[in-house]
Structures are given as C-alpha cells and as structure tokens.
Structure 1
C-alpha cells in the first residue's frame, strides 16, 4: 500500500491564454484551495487583472510578462485580444515563457504542476525539478477520445492526413457513437492541425506531447455523463485519467453592482417567463458578417424576445468589424436588445425570463446553460465546439441549427425555426425537459465535492509513487 502524503500540497496551475481555459482552471483552483491546499495560478499580468475578483483564498496569482513579438498587437495577452489568424503569434510568445516559467518553478517548492495543452514543454521542465505533472484538460473526455492516442498525435505519419478523416468516427472508438466533426467545422480549424504555422508546432502535436509527458491526466467532466469516453482514455493513454467534475461556474464577487447587469436585469424583469432567447458565442468564436446577418434576421423572424451579446471585434487590431443589418435594432427594439460589450453571462442565464440559449457549444457556456435549466440551440464555430455539439445532440440535450454540410452556411429561416422549436413549440419539449433531467449530473455539490476529494487523494498518493504501465 502507498503511504499518503499528509502535508499541504502546493499545486501550480498554468493555463493557456484563453478565458475559456483560464476560467475552468480558476474554478478548479478555488475548489482545491478550499480544501486547504496551496495553489499558484500562473498567467500574464493583464489576464490575471481581468479574471473574476475572488474573496481571500489560498490562491497566489503569479504574473509572468508575455514576451513581445513583432506581429503580436500591443497589450494582447489572450485570444480574445487578437484576430483568429494572430493566435499563432500568441502561442509563439507563450512558448517563449519557458525560461521565466522554469525560473519560477525552481523557486516554487511545488508538488504538482497542472498544465494546459499549449505548453507541451512544461512537463519536461517540471519533471527535471522533481515536480509531478498533470495534463489538465478543460476539453471533455469525448473531445480527447476523438482526437486520439498521443502516439498518433505526435507521429509524422499520422493516420489522419486529410480533413475528411475527421468527419467519421475513428477506429480506436469501439462503441457506437455519432460523435465526429462536420466538414465545415474541421475546415475552420484545419490550419491548427498543421505544423506549417508560425510556431512550427501543430496543435495535435501539442496535445500528444502534453499527454505523453504527464504523470496523470485530469479531465473536466464526470464519468456518470461520459463513462465510455473516460474508459477509452484510460485505454489509449496507458496512465491514470481522473475526472475533475463539470466545475459549474460560480458568480464573481460584486457582479450585482455591475452597471451593465443593472440595465439588463431591468429589461429582463419586464419580459415573460421562459421566453427570452439569450445569444452569446463566448470570448473566441466570431461569426462572419454573413452569419451575423442571418442570425439577426432569424431573431427578427422568430418573433421571440432576445438579448444578444455581440462581439463585433476580436481585439482592437481586428480589421473586420461586424455590423447588424440596416434597421434591425430599430425594427426589434420593442422586444430585443444587443450588447456590444462584456456581459455577466451567469447572471443572465439565472434569470427566469430566459428560456433558450443560442450558444457556440463551448463547454463552460454549456455547463452554465445546464446549471440554469436553459434549453440549448447550438451554432458551432471553432475548436472543440463541433464535438461538444455532437455529444449534446446524441443525448437530446441540444438542437443544432441546420446548416450546409460543406460550407456551414445557414439561413435566417433555419435560425428562427430552431429557436421557436426549442424554446416554445411542443415538438421541442424534449430538449427543455432533457436539460432539467441532466442538471444534477452537472451541478450536484456532493458529487463535485467527491471528485475533488478523490483528485486530492490521488495527488497525495502519486506524490509518493511512480505509475508503472
């Protein structure tokens, strides 16, 4: 038997520079710190300043200045600050943090490093210093299972050479499933699958090396929701895979006093219960101008009240500023509002007037929708969103707006019909009811607490042993 380490653990968390990654890392950090363990949360200065303000905890925020690159806009420290085609420069700058991050680890006296997929080099640095490593994936078990074994991801002769090979279920998935990308989804991210980018390292290689070099893998999610996918990961990784729970979001301190929330709440309070459509696509997903036009006209045709949080740019250097159709806001002002700045999503989703959520299927948004029992209408754009959408479709927890399979185009009519189906029509009742049925798997505090206790128990145990395949 292994002797558990009784002392307080010191865990360093090093997330990728995207708020869709930093926020789930922060949620896990808070839960670990509440158990009495030390957490050092490492990111860049501006990102740390933009994170939700916490009441005093054991979390120590460590600021590492991001190296400046010629093609990276001034003050750009997160994916939300740059156009999509500049994200590779952000990754290149992030890779250049290796030396300052190493110096921090050398003096940290850390027991564990939790790192994201982008810093594939972090595990080697930590291991040389005698620090145990956990690849912490904010992506779900189904996403990781679909992208495959680490040996395939790092191989020069990967079995997936063409985009078409991502739109079918891969051979290592041995159970029945419909989970795969649509052609238009994989074509939007195909550039990240190639090493022919400005960093010289593909995202697939980053994933593969991160998984290969860790002591354990920690995955956002729960085995009750995706049992077959967690079992698959154990098989293809050949090392422990520990669920961290769904990590439902907690409201940031002081959000009630936010000026934006005050006017939104006043507007929502006047709307009928369960009829408002909330529209938001996260911090990274940016529709095209044509897509924004169809979404707007679809909202208009649906005749449902709506609250749309529209990001018109990805950072100040983004030259493509999105515009709404001429006259749209005037025509819909009696039943809809558009917000072009940050909005308190959790507060909006908590409101009883909101009945449906038109979402990009980013997992944090999905969890926030489910924890507030909002029916999900899915419109994917980037990254893992396609896989997330297939899982939700498969479990009848979300309905995807019908699109052209090749180019991903959709019409305003399909938007309007999807919204009405899921939010108000009898035929779509299954989606509204299914979310309520599944809510307990996502927000049950006792279950989430057990996952954290089990994680910490394993961290203590593995601190005293080496895993042998």
Structure 2
C-alpha cells in the first residue's frame, strides 16, 4: 500500500483506512481480504457494512482482529425492499435495484461517519459513486477498488462511455473489439450467445435506479487512485491500457485468494465430506459449484446433470436450487438422477468448505460459473471447466 497517496505525515506513521464495499458477498469478501493485507502492515481498518452482513462475514484471524474494526451501519428501509434484506444473496434478481436505492441513502450517514472518523484514506466500491466527492470535500484521499480485472474495465470503456455516451446499442456491437482498445484480443469481446444472456444488464436504463456502468464511471472519475484486483504478471498490457484510458494512477493489488480463518476446522460438515473424498481415486472427482448467487435455469441444470451422469466420473456438486431465500423459481434435478448416480456422486444442498474441497488430492477439476473469486481459488491447485455469462446479483 506504500504507493497510495498519503497525507503529510512521517513515513513510519500508521494509517486509518475506511473500507466500503457493495452489499454482495462477491464484493465484501475481496474487500475483507484487502483489509487483512492492510492490517498485516500494521494499519487500522474500519470495514463498514450493514449489521446482518457484518454478522455473516468469516471469522477474523486473531492476530488481525484488533486492527480490523467491523462497523455496522443500519440500512435505510425503502419501499419494495423485503424486510431483513441486506445483501444480494437475500433477494431475487429483480429486487436488487431496491437494495441499491437503500444503499444510496447511506450517503448522509457515511458523510457523517467519515467526518467523525477523519480517516487517512477511504477505499470504496463501484456502487457508492457518491463517496469520492464526499471524501474530497472532507480532505480525505480516496481509492476506488474494482473487484473486476483490468481487461473487463478496459472493455467497459472510458468515463464518458460508462456515464452514457456509448454507441454500442445491440448485442452484436459487443462481439467486436471496442475502438479504444488498440490491439487485437479475443478477450475484448463477447461471443453472441454470451452477450445475449447479459445484454439487458449491460445496456438497460432503469428509471428507478442509477445504472451500474454510470456508478463505475462517476466513481472512477472522482477517485484519486483506481485499484484493481489484478497483477502485472497476470495482465500487463491491460493494466497499462487502463492507465491510458483513465489517466490516473492504477494499483494492481493482486488476485486476493481467500484466506478464511475458522478455528473449528469447519466441524462435522467437513469431516463427512472429507471421508467421502478420501475414498475416491486421486484427481478423479469433478467438483461442481456455481457460487453463492449465480443460478442456471431449469434447462441448463438438466443438461449439466445429464452430462455429469454420462461422463461416469465421480462428482461432488454443491447445488443451490434457488439464488436467494426470496427466489420462488426453484430448479430441480432430473427425475432419478441422484438415485442413478449415488454410487459415485454427491449432491450437497447446504454450505460446503470450497477451499478445503479444492485442495483435496481426489479432486481433479472444477466446473464453475467463471466467478473471479472461484477462479482465483481454483487456479492455485486445480484445472478449471468454465461456464460463462450467468447472471449474478452483484
């Protein structure tokens, strides 16, 4: 963190840094991992979220807990937002916009909190696009931390494009390399079937809410530094291009693999899973999991299940048949699937310790939804089989 802007103080002074992630666990967990890295340098972190989300975060390592203050900020109630809904995992996709409305009402209490805390630095997510100007008025340096890699941010475009001046209006427009990317790359474009899955998310303008792209544009415009979940070893050309596009300092902070701490070793759940994995041959098991919020539709789920069955490979499948507790569109496995595969497969419908499963010698591959956190966890130890462009809640 030494290259981030600092107030005028002695170089050996410790900083107080405020973190404000968006209310999705795919955002909160990387922000928490970054908080741990900052705390390891001896700095103090105030990690801010809503009460229910704070209570659901992983346990903090004992050596870092004194330096990471978990601050609970009450989420305002808005019409159409279900009671006790404080994260995207609590909501079906079409209700997430009301969570963003409630989140935007945190501007005034966050302003007061920053004034009272007087931190040296605030690190914020794409959603609180209003926080950069607030920090500037209070004389606080600011960093927008993107959990998305530099290639994704380059594809999204410069600030005017993010804020609405985008001439890409059809799905086909997103299947070619944007004009601001000067080199050829298959990364810098969608395949048509992929973009059709997310086209409404990319281009829609909702009268009830601020588009995600606008939030990113305004947030980047107002920050002093743009931090990216990436590294120069991973995507050097994209990080250099990102700096050219936005003309401000870019800090790649690494891929932030999860370092969850749990003194109970995950208890009975892991014991039972490990017993089953121990019985399987080395590198024979396909681990299947699509994250906490991505969800296939019924036709996709059926095809995945039948494909696993035809493969005749042992598998461990962590299956979420609904994207949230409020999701009424429950998906189901094909009739007889579990009975036909019970000798070589496990379908787990509850929580499972993904890092421990991926690290087990019997697991030979990971079938995933392409979420960056899952990809980062897997590339440390296992080959990946990726399904892309499933709509998530972030």
Distance 1:295 1:72 in 2: 33
* Structure 1 counterpart of 2:351, from 322, 326, 342: 342
Which residue of structure 1 aligns with residue 29 of structure 2?
Answer: 23
Per-residue deviation at 1:364? 0.8
Per-residue deviation at 1:318? 0.8
> Which protein is richer in helix relative to its size?
1
Distance 1:314 1:234 in 2: 36
Asked whether the equivalents of residues 294 and 391 of structure 2 are also in contact (C-alpha less than 8 Å), the reply is: no
Asked whether the equivalents of residues 286 and 381 of structure 1 are also in contact (C-alpha less than 8 Å), the reply is: no
Asked whether the equivalents of residues 294 and 392 of structure 2 are also in contact (C-alpha less than 8 Å), the reply is: no
- Name the SS for the 1:364 alignment partner: helix
What CA RMSD, in Å, does the superposition of the two structures yield over aligned residues?
1.7
Provide Cα deviations, 1:349-392, integer angstroms capped at 9, x if missing partner.
011110000011111101100112x111011134699xxxxxxx
* Structure 2 counterpart of 1:159, from 150, 167, 183: 167
Does the alignment pair 1:169 with 2:166?
no
Asked whether the equivalents of residues 89 and 198 of structure 1 are also in contact (C-alpha less than 8 Å), the reply is: no
Provide Cα deviations, 1:69-122, integer angstroms capped at 9, x if missing partner.
232222211111111111111111111111111111111111111111111111
Does the alignment pair 1:207 with 2:216?
yes
Per-residue deviation at 1:203? 1.1
Provide Cα deviations, 1:394-440, integer angstroms capped at 9, x if missing partner.
xxxxxxxxxxxxxxxxxxxxxxxxxxxxxxxxxxxxxxxxxxxxxxx
* Structure 1 counterpart of 2:320, from 290, 311, 314: 311
Which residue of structure 2 aligns with residue 60 of structure 1?
Answer: 69
Which residue of structure 2 aligns with residue 141 of structure 1?
Answer: 150
Asked whether the equivalents of residues 162 and 213 of structure 2 are also in contact (C-alpha less than 8 Å), the reply is: yes
Distance 2:100 2:301 in 1: 28
* 1:38-437 matched pairs, under 5 angstroms: 38-56=44-62, 57=64, 58-155=67-164, 157-179=165-187, 180-194=189-203, 196-197=205-206, 199-254=208-263, 256-372=265-381, 374-382=382-390
Distance 1:96 1:185 in 2: 34
Judging changes above 3 Å, is the alpha-carbon distance between structure 1 residues 265 and 354 closer, same or farther for their aligned structure 2 residues?
Answer: same
Asked whether the equivalents of residues 115 and 122 of structure 1 are also in contact (C-alpha less than 8 Å), the reply is: yes
Judging changes above 3 Å, is the alpha-carbon distance between structure 1 residues 277 and 198 closer, same or farther for their aligned structure 2 residues?
Answer: farther
Q: Which moved more, 1:190-199 or 1:172-181?
A: 190-199
Distance 1:121 1:382 in 2: 29
- Name the SS for the 1:256 alignment partner: coil
**TM-score, normalised via structure 1 length:** 0.79
Distance 1:309 1:73 in 2: 27
Count of residues in correspondence between the two structures: 382
Provide Cα deviations, 1:232-254, integer angstroms capped at 9, x if missing partner.
00100100001101112213223
Distance 1:110 1:272 in 2: 53
Unaligned 5+ segments in structure 2 are 1-5
